[in-house]
Structure 1
Amino acid sequence: MPTRSSVSAPRRWAGLALSLVVLLVVWSVVAAADLVQPHYLTPSPLEVWHAFVRANSHHAVGGGIDRVVRGEENYFLWEHLLVSLRRIGLGLALGVVVGVPLGLLMGSVRWIGDLVGPYVDFLRSLPPLAYIGFLVAWFGIYDTLKVWLLFLAAFPPITLATVNGVRGVRLDQLNAVRSLGASRLQTTRHVILPATLPDILSGLRVAVGFAWTTVVAAELVNGLPGIGGLAYLSGTQNKIALSVACILVIGLTAIALDAVIRSIEKLVVPWRGKA
C-alpha cells in the first residue's frame, strides 16, 4: 500500500508545475498587453530567456562580426554567480567561525549573554546599506568590503540561534555528565554542541537567506564580476530582461542552497522533529 508521503509528493510536483504554467501565462499576457511603456520595462518570459542565453554565450554587438563579446561585462552569467557564491561562502564561514563559539559562550555564561546580547540584537536590526559607507572607508571597494558586509548579515542569526540552542539543553543532561566528572570543555563538546547543532543549522539557513538578500547591496560598489552587481548594473542601463534573469538566478540558487542545507540537516541531526 502506498504511503501518504509517496502519494502526496506527485501531487506537490503537479501543483508546482501547474502554478508555474499559470505564472508564465499571466506574465506573458501582462508583457504582451504593454500596460507599462516603454515595452522593455515589462519583458516577457521569452525575452528574459534570451537575455539569460545571451549572458552565457559569445555574441556580436553593434551588428559587426568583428565585435564579439563574452557574456555580460566580459564574464558569463555563471561566472558572475560563482564569484558571488565565493563571497557569500566567505561571509558565512566567518559568521560560523565567530558566531558559533560566541553563541556557545553567551548561552553557557549568563552574564556574558546579558552583556553581549544587546549588541548582537543591534547588528541584527540594522539594514546592510547602513554599513556600506563606513565599510568603504575602512576596507576600500574590493572584495574585503563585500565579505565583511555579508559577514555582518550572517553573523547575528547564527549567533542568536546558537544561544537559543544552548539555553534549550536539558538541565538533567548537564547535571548527569557533570556528576560523572566531565569538565566544562567536555560538557560543551559532548552534550551542549550536539544538542545545539539543530539550532545552529537553522540559524545557518536563515543566515544564507540574509546573505542572498544582501549580495546586491554588497556588490553595489565595484561589484563586477558578481551576480548582484550585474543585476544592479543591468537595471541602471535599462536592460530589464537581463536584470530579471539575474534576479531569477539569485532566487533559484538560494532555494537550491536551502535544500542542500536541509538535506545536510537530515543527515547530521536525523532525530530532529522526532518524538
Structure 2
Amino acid sequence: MTSPSPAPTAAVPVQEHLDPRVPPGEGSGTRPRRRAARRLGVRVLAVVALLGLWQLAATAAGNPSFVPAPRAVWDQLVRLSTTHEGIRGYSGSLLVEHLGMSLRRILIGSAIGVAGGLVLGVVLGTVPWIRVVAEPVVTFVRALPPLAYFSLLIIWFGIDETPKLWLLAIAALPPVAVATATAVHGAPADLVEAARALGASRWDVIRDVVLPNALPEIFTGVRLAVGIAYSSVVAAETVNGVPGIGGMVRDAQRYLQTDVVVLGLFAIGVSGLLIDGLLRVAERRLIPWRGRS
C-alpha cells in the first residue's frame, strides 16, 4: 500500500534583503543614491541659507562699499566676463584671463616647490646628519609669512614673474619636505631589512620600499603645499600682479570696489575647491590602498 503523495505547497518567495529597514524591491544601489541625493540637497539648502544671510547683512549694512549685495557681485561677474561699454573685463583682461594667469603661476610655483620638497624630504629622511642640520631651517621657513620675504625676492629678482614664482615655490616646499621626511624616516624597518637581505641597493630600497610606503603621507603634503601656494597668490601678486586674480583683488581694494574684491575671493575659493577635488581623484587613483586594512 503506497502512501499518498504530499500536497503541493505554494512557492515561498526568497527575501532579497535581509535588512528589515530596506523595503522590498529596492536594489543595492538605491541607498547610496539616496544618500548622495540627501547630501546634495543639504548642500543646496546651505548655499541658499548663506545667500539669504548675505543679503540680510548687505541690507542691514546699507553701504555697498562695506557689504555688497549678492546681486552686485553677480553683475560684476557678468561685466568682468564680457566687454561692457567698450571696457574689456577688468584692466583690459577678462575674469577668466585673470584666473588663468594666477593658476599658471600657482602651477609652476607649486611644481617647483613640490619637486624640491620631495628631494629634500627623502634626503632628510635617509641621512640623519643632514636631517639634524637642515630640519630647523625648513621649520624656520615654514613659519615665515609669505610677505615677510617677498620684498627680499623683489630686490633680488625684480618685479616680473620670477619673484612671484619663487614666493609660491618657497611657500609650497616645507609641507612636502616635512611630510616626506617624516614618512621616509618612519618606513617599516623589517621591510627595509628584508630588502637589503635580498641584495637591494640603497636606491632600490628607497624606490621600491620606502617611497611606496610613504606615498600616502607625501600626497597629503602635496595637497597642503598646493593649498598654501594658492592662499599665497594674493601676496605674490601685490606687485605688478595684473593680470592675475590676486592682483585684481588688490587693485580693486584700493578703489573700494568691494564687489570686485568679493568676486575675486569667490573665484579663488571655487577654483581652489576644484583643484583640491582633482588632487583627491588623483590620490584615489594613485593610492587605492589608502584607508584600507
Checking the alignment, whether the CA contact within 8 Å between 2:54 and 2:69 is kept in structure 1 is: yes
Residue 2 of structure 1 deviates from its aligned partner by 4.2
Distance 1:158 1:47, change over 3 A: same
Q: What is the distance in 2 between the residues matched to 1:39 and 1:74?
A: 24
Indicate the RMSD between aligned Cα atoms, in angstroms.
Answer: 1.2
1:96 to 110, 114, 139: 114
Q: What is the distance in 2 between the residues matched to 1:243 and 1:143?
A: 23
1:128 aligns with 2:155: no
The amino acid that maps onto 2:159 is I
Deviation string, structure 1 residues 52-111 (Cα, Å, up to 9, x no partner) = 111110011xxxxxxx12110100011011111111111111112211011011101112
Number of the residue aligned with 1:47: 72
Distance 1:7 1:170, change over 3 A: farther
2:231 to 213, 216, 228: 213
The amino acid that maps onto 2:175 is P
Checking the alignment, whether the CA contact within 8 Å between 2:114 and 2:225 is kept in structure 1 is: no
Query: How many residues align structurally?
Result: 266
Structure showing greater radius of gyration is 2
Distance 1:193 1:3, change over 3 A: farther
Number of the residue aligned with 2:21: none
1:229 aligns with 2:229: no
Distance 1:137 1:182, change over 3 A: same
Higher helix share: 1
Number of the residue aligned with 2:183: 165
**Aligned sequence identity (%):** 42
> Structure 2 length as normaliser, TM-score?
0.88
Checking the alignment, whether the CA contact within 8 Å between 1:208 and 1:254 is kept in structure 2 is: no
Q: What is the distance in 2 between the residues matched to 1:182 and 1:4?
A: 49
Checking the alignment, whether the CA contact within 8 Å between 2:227 and 2:272 is kept in structure 1 is: yes
1:29 aligns with 2:56: yes
Q: What is the distance in 2 between the residues matched to 1:166 and 1:20?
A: 42
2:218 to 195, 200, 222: 200
1:240 aligns with 2:267: no
Unaligned runs of at least 5 residues, structure 1 = 61-67
Q: What is the distance in 2 between the residues matched to 1:261 and 1:104?
A: 22
Q: What is the distance in 2 between the residues matched to 1:274 and 1:213?
A: 32
